[in-house]
């Protein structure tokens, strides 16, 4: 039995959507494919096909996993919509969430062990049958608080309702065979490192090979393992309204486990609070939901009151509003995004936080010289489109959707964006480049290439920081994988 078995479905994932909750708030970026404008886009998620219905947690999970398999829909968006449609109570919503995320996270390992039990192979099954076997195997192999017979019986009943007796008989036979041989399921001892880590920690082998080459075998394993841990909820206190300690005390009085972030000065980590974007404190602008690594970006920009700041790829606005708070809402932040609806997201966050210094605009960040003359800004933030491989724990389907070729493609966009916005910075000004990935080609190699081609820029450590570049790994602080570099234009 794998040593990565979960404690059980009742150990619900922090920060995942619950029944009736909206899409998770926060500044989670990079999961969509990069587009030519420097923004991010992804496949549209249709409303759930089923009308509001009384169904089980496993039935809801099956709907989500089938859609992910067939339509490449995003798991977090689709799960949220499906939970609302099924109107599950909190425990069942937690079980459905655990099954969906766990099955997606462990997909290639599940398929590796499950394939020998399916005579015709998984690929030849209808998507819903394949998803039913996968989610059932996940429960049998990784969860230890659900009786095996209950898992098998519900799977067979689902197969009967959605298929015919032949399918239900096949499902019954496969799962009972899995139960009989569960103790024999183990990986071969002679697998090479990349293949072993890829199956032990359920990641694409090409991804593991890259990380071994960049960081070494041990760090690659730690990175993959951290990607399979549930993300935690972190809040950024709005220091224009209250300091982090006051927010902590307020949440603790409500019975919540709230602690100061070990990484971000304005950060508060909350456990057991559910969706914090549904609270009165969020609605009144006392805090924003944002990952701790992401909070460091505004600290590195370090904007001062009265300055003019450009946020090149600003949606959904977490870093934009953080910079406005740090400036005391005095000065001007031009928040740019290529999509108009994303500009509306930024404006909505600014309104919620009662920030007046933010001006949104819709434009391709590579063409901003059409709107602004050289030297227009004191500070520039380029939170660049990227492969998003630092946020896999939040979007586990991301690792299966990405291809190695996409990394090369997004590097070209990043290079163009850096070159395009650099002239807009005043002499002596600060340019901060950040991504939510762990890929060196997109991070330090990108910055080093920019510095070679732009001798008027140099690396510049942030206030109190020892180095001008920092790569944060998910296994270090339990936050997202993030990269930040700070550069200064010579006066």
Q: Kindly list the catalytic residues.
A: 436
Q: Which residue has the tokens 């968006």?
A: 77
Task: Choose among 454, 488, 14: nearest CA to 234.
Answer: 14
Task: Tell me whether residue 197 is exposed, middle or buried, using C-beta atoms within 10 angstroms of its C-beta: 0 to 12, 13 to 18, 19 or more.
Answer: buried
Strand partners, 358: 333
Radius of gyration of the chain from its Cα atoms, rounded to whole angstroms: 23
Distances, alpha carbon 219 to alpha carbons 118, 123, 399, 473, in Å:
35, 33, 18, 9
44 within 8 A of 130, measured Cβ to Cβ? no
Stated as kind and residue range, the H or E segment containing 168 is: helix 165-181
Q: Is 471 helix (H, G, I), strand (E, B) or coil?
A: strand
Cis omega (within 30 of 0) on the bond before 162?
Answer: no
Task: Choose among 90, 82, 78: nearest CA to 18.
Answer: 90
Angle at Cα 246 formed by Cα 302 and Cα 280, nearest 5°? 95
**Alpha helix positions (H), 260-312:** 280-283, 292-301
**Ramachandran assignment for 238, one of left (phi > 0), alpha (psi -120 to 50 degrees), beta (any other):** beta
Q: Which residue has the tokens 């090479």?
A: 192
Q: What secondary structure does DSSP assign to 58-123, as a single string?
A: HHHHHHHHHHHHHH---HHHHHHHHHHHHT--HHHHHHHHHHHHHHHHTHHHHHHHHGGG-TT-GG
Helix and strand numbers, DSSP H then E, in the chain: 19, 14
Please give the structure tokens belonging to residue 479. 């936050």
Q: What is the dihedral of CA 52, 54, 58, 63, to 10 degrees?
A: -20
Please give the structure tokens belonging to residue 66. 């089938």
**Ramachandran assignment for 288, one of left (phi > 0), alpha (psi -120 to 50 degrees), beta (any other):** beta
CA atoms of 167 and 483, how far apart (whole Å): 48
């Amino acid at each position: 039995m794998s040593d990565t078995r979960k404690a059980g479905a009742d150990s619900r994932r922090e920060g995942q959507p619950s029944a009736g909750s909206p899409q998770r708030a926060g500044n989670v970026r990079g999961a969509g494919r990069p587009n030519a404008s420097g923004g991010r886009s992804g496949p549209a998620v249709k409303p759930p096909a089923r009308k509001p219905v009384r169904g089980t947690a496993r039935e809801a999970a099956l709907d989500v996993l089938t859609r992910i398999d067939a339509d490449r829909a995003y798991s977090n968006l689709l799960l949220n919509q499906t939970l609302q449609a099924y109107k599950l109570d909190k425990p069942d919503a937690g079980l459905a969430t655990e099954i969906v995320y766990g099955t997606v996270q462990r997909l290639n390992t599940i398929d590796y062990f499950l394939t020998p039990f399916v005579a015709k192979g998984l690929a030849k099954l209808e998507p819903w049958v394949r998803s039913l076997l996968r989610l059932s195997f996940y429960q049998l192999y990784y969860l230890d608080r659900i009786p095996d017979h209950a898992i098998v019986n519900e799977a067979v009943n689902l197969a009967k309702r959605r298929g015919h007796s032949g399918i239900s008989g096949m499902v019954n036979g496969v799962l009972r065979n899995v139960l009989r041989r569960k103790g024999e399921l183990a990986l071969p001892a002679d697998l090479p490192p990349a293949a072993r880590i890829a199956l032990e920690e359920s990641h694409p082998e090409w991804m593991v090979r890259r990380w071994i080459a960049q960081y070494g075998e041990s760090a690659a394993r730690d990175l993959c393992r951290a990607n399979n841990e549930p993300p935690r909820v972190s809040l950024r206190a709005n220091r224009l309204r209250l300091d982090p300690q006051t927010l902590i005390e307020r949440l603790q009085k409500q019975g919540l486990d709230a602690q100061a972030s070990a990484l971000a000065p304005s950060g508060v980590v909350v456990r057991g609070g559910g969706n914090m974007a549904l609270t009165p404190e969020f609605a009144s602008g006392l805090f924003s939901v944002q990952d701790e690594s992401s909070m460091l970006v505004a600290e590195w920009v370090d904007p001062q009151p009265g300055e003019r700041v450009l946020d090149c790829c600003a949606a959904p606005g977490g870093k934009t509003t953080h910079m406005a708070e740090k400036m005391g809402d005095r000065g001007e932040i031009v928040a740019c995004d290529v999509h108009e609806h994303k500009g509306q997201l930024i404006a909505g966050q600014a309104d919620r936080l009662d920030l007046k210094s933010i001006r949104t605009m819709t434009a391709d960040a590579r063409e901003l010289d059409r709107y602004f003359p050289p030297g227009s800004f004191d500070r520039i933030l380029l939170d660049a489109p990227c492969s998003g491989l630092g946020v896999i724990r939040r979007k586990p389907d991301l690792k299966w959707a990405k291809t190695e070729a996409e990394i090369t493609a997004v590097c070209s966009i990043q290079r163009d964006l850096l070159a395009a916005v650099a002239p807009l910075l005043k002499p002596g000004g600060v340019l901060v480049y950040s991504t939510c990935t762990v890929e060196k080609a997109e991070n330090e190699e990108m910055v080093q290439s920019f510095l070679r081609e732009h001798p008027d820029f140099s690396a510049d450590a942030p206030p109190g920081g020892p180095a001008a570049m920092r790569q944060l790994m998910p296994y270090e602080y339990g936050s997202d994988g993030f990269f930040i570099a700070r550069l200064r234009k010579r006066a």
